[in-house]
Amino acid sequence: MKAEVRILLVEDEFLIALNLEQELVGIGYRVIKIVNNGEEAIEITMLGDLDVILMDIGLAGSIDGIEAARQIELFSKTPIIFMSGYANKLCESSDCPQNSIGYLTKPVFINDLKSILDTYFMG
């Protein structure tokens, strides 16, 4: 099942994005695209060909990851896992969009990410 899970990776730090992509592919997930800003994340999500979004909170562009998720939530129920280099930047449960399924502090450890993905997609 997890080989079919399509992930949009939204990360503005190129090396972090490449590393996460390699680790996700290594455990059997499929990264369909890497983007570095919220605007592009919204556009890709509109195409509807993904299962989950791995979203950094601090992004290039004019909107951050939380605002991008709020806009995505208006037209899609695609689940989102947030990442942040700062624990205090992670949104509180009342502040986060309802489509969020997890929060990770950077550096992201693949076993923590795998746990969230496996729980969500495999029950």
Q: Which helix (H) or strand (E) holds 55?
A: strand 52-56
48-76: average pLDDT: 93
Average pLDDT, the chain: 90
Instruction: Write the pLDDT tens digit of every residue in 84-114.
Output: 887 666 565 556 777 889 889 999 999 999 9
Strand bridging mode 100-105 / 30-35: unpaired
pTM of structure: 0.91
- The domains found in the chain, sorted by start residue, are 2-122 (3.40.50.2300)
| Model confidence at 70: pLDDT above 70 | yes
Express as a percent the part of the chain with pLDDT over 70.
Answer: 89
Q: Are 51 and 73 in contact (CB under 8 A)?
A: no
67-93: average pLDDT: 84
Task: Give CA separation, 118 vs 15, 27, 44, 122, in Å.
Answer: 25, 11, 23, 5
